[in-house]
């Protein structure tokens, strides 16, 4: 499978614990995005990387959230001191840098986080 | 601020009936509009985007800037069209920003 992959697919944690998710984009894509999706809602943008540079951050990305893409390939999203409100599906997407490609983004399967 | 509204949470039709999934947006510039689809137990995938002006799986969508709408249409629904459909907006064309804003989605159920 050459699509976007995410690990783990499911994570259950206790309130106050830290969690880290990984995203591997499609190999030739230099842009990587994180979104969060709660029940009954569409995905909400969190942050975006072009190569290793973090170029956009949503106000949703509180100081407990941090994302990295140190070598411009895979990315990690860490949530510190998790709260029950963090329970959601965390989606990763990637897109190529091609003229005329517009902003089509390719999504991974998501990591479902449950905070008890 | 940009916003995407999908007024229907659920749309149920019979096989062979026409389908129209509504999408309205709020944005002052020139957006790029998309329809994404999520079939059961599958990931979110692009169905179509307005700049390509193509028909995918029999679906079409026309950007109406006057009505700020991007409704998704199909003349004859098939059972395999049953899925969750999301309308999304990107301000990329005139701002360079790449964050997608999604609507809350419409579940399409096509009954036999």
pLDDT digits (tens, 9 = 90+) for B51-94: 887 888 999 998 999 999 999 999 999 999 999 999 999 987 77
Task: Check whether B29 has a pLDDT greater than 90.
Answer: no
Average pLDDT of every residue of chain A: 93
3-state secondary structure chain A: CCCCEEECCEEEECCCCCEEEEEECCCCCCEEEEEEECCCCCCEEEEEEECCEEEEECCCCCCCEEEECCCCCCEEEEECCCCHHHCEEEEEEEECCCCCCCCCCEECCCEEEEEC
The stretch B93-100 carries a mean pLDDT of 81
- Note the pLDDT of residue B95: 77
Q: Is A91 on the interface with B (CB under 8 A)?
A: yes
**Residue holding tokens 């409100």?**
A85
- Note the pLDDT of residue A16: 97
Name the minimum distance, in Å, from the CA of B36 to any CA of chain A: 10
Separation in Å, CA A66 to CA A17, A26, A81, A100: 15, 22, 12, 31
**B104 vs A29: CA distance, rounded Å:** 27
**Residue holding tokens 């899925």?**
B83
Q: Comparing A36-50, B41-55, B72-86, which segment has the lowest mean pLDDT? A: B41-55
Model confidence band, residue B50 (pLDDT cutoffs 50, 70, 90): confident
Structure tokens at B11: 């749309």
| Pairing state between β A88-95 and A31-37 | antiparallel
| Pairing state between β B10-14 and B106-111 | parallel
With a CB-CB cutoff of 8 Å, which residues 6-65 of chain A face chain B?
Answer: 31, 33, 35, 40-45, 48, 55-56, 58
- For residue A8, say if its preceding peptide bond is cis, omega within 30 degrees of 0: yes
The stretch A75-104 carries a mean pLDDT of 90
Name the minimum distance, in Å, from the CA of B98 to any CA of chain A: 7
Check if the beta carbon of residue B73 is closer than 8 Å to that of residue B18: yes
Model confidence band, residue A71 (pLDDT cutoffs 50, 70, 90): confident
**Residue holding tokens 């880290």?**
A20
The stretch B20-31 carries a mean pLDDT of 93
Q: How many helices (H) and strands (E) does chain B have?
A: 1, 11
- Note the pLDDT of residue A99: 58
- Note the pLDDT of residue A100: 61
Question: Is the pLDDT higher at B62 or at B95?
Answer: B62
- Note the pLDDT of residue B91: 87
């Amino acid at each position: 499978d050459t699509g976007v992959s995410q690990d783990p697919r499911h994570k259950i944690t206790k309130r106050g614990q830290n969690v880290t998710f990984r995203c591997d984009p499609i190999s030739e894509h230099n842009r990587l995005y994180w979104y969060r999706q709660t029940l009954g809602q569409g995905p909400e943008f969190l942050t975006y990387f072009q190569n290793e540079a973090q170029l956009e951050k949503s106000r949703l990305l509180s100081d407990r959230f941090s994302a990295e893409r140190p070598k411009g390939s895979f990315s990690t999203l860490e949530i510190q001191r998790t709260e029950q409100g963090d329970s959601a599906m965390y989606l990763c997407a990637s897109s190529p840098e091609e003229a005329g490609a517009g902003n089509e983004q390719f999504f991974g399967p998501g990591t479902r986080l449950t905070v008890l | 601020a940009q916003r995407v509204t999908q007024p229907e949470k659920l749309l149920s039709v019979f096989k062979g009936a026409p389908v129209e999934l509504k999408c309205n947006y709020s944005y002052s510039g020139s957006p790029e509009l998309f329809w994404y689809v999520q079939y059961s137990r599958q990931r979110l995938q692009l169905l179509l985007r307005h700049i390509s002006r193509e028909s995918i799986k029999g679906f079409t969508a026309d950007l109406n800037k006057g009505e700020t709408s991007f409704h998704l249409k199909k003349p004859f629904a098939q059972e395999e069209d049953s899925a969750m459909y999301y309308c999304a907006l990107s301000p990329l064309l005139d701002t360079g920003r790449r964050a997608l804003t999604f609507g809350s989605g419409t579940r399409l159920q096509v009954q036999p």
